[in-house]
Every structure is written in structure tokens, then in C-alpha cells.
Amino acid sequence: MKKLLVPAILALVLAISAPAMAQKKSITIAADATWPPMEFIDENKQLVGYSVDYMKAAAEAAGYE
């Protein structure tokens, strides 16, 4: 009985958690924006710079928006 119960519970947990894992995760990163060229505010009031690009690439590689 125990040999059947553990795989059944595991299958149930995986079936329930699969839709939650399919959703895109998001992450918020804060910056001071006073250290050009690392991060700064451009003429369009957008946060830009090396560290901004690096954080975006790292978040995308980890599966975050």
C-alpha cells in the first residue's frame, strides 16, 4: 500500500503545481540611477545603462519577465 501511496501523492502534487509553474515569473529590480554608464536616466526618462542591460539579460536567462 505504501509503495502505491507515495507515487500517487507525488503525481497529484505535480498535476496541481504544473499550471502554476507554467506562469511567467516576474521580478522587480531597483537602481539608484546616478552612476553613468552603469545606470542613468536618459532623455526619454527611461532607466538605461550597463547594469540595467545586465539585470534584464540575467532575469530573462532565469525565466523572469
Does the bond joining 19 to the residue before it have cis omega, within 30 degrees of 0?
no
The C-alpha atoms of residue 36 and residue 56 are separated, in whole angstroms, by: 17
Query: Which cell is 50 given?
Result: 550597463
pTM above 0.85? no
pLDDT at 24: 72
User: pLDDT grade, residue 27 (50/70/90)?
Assistant: confident
Per-residue pLDDT tens for 28-60? Answer: 888 888 888 889 999 999 999 999 999 999 988
The C-alpha atoms of residue 51 and residue 40 are separated, in whole angstroms, by: 10
Q: What φ, ψ does residue 25 adopt, rounded to 5°?
A: -80, 150
Is it the case that residue 19 has pLDDT exceeding 70? no
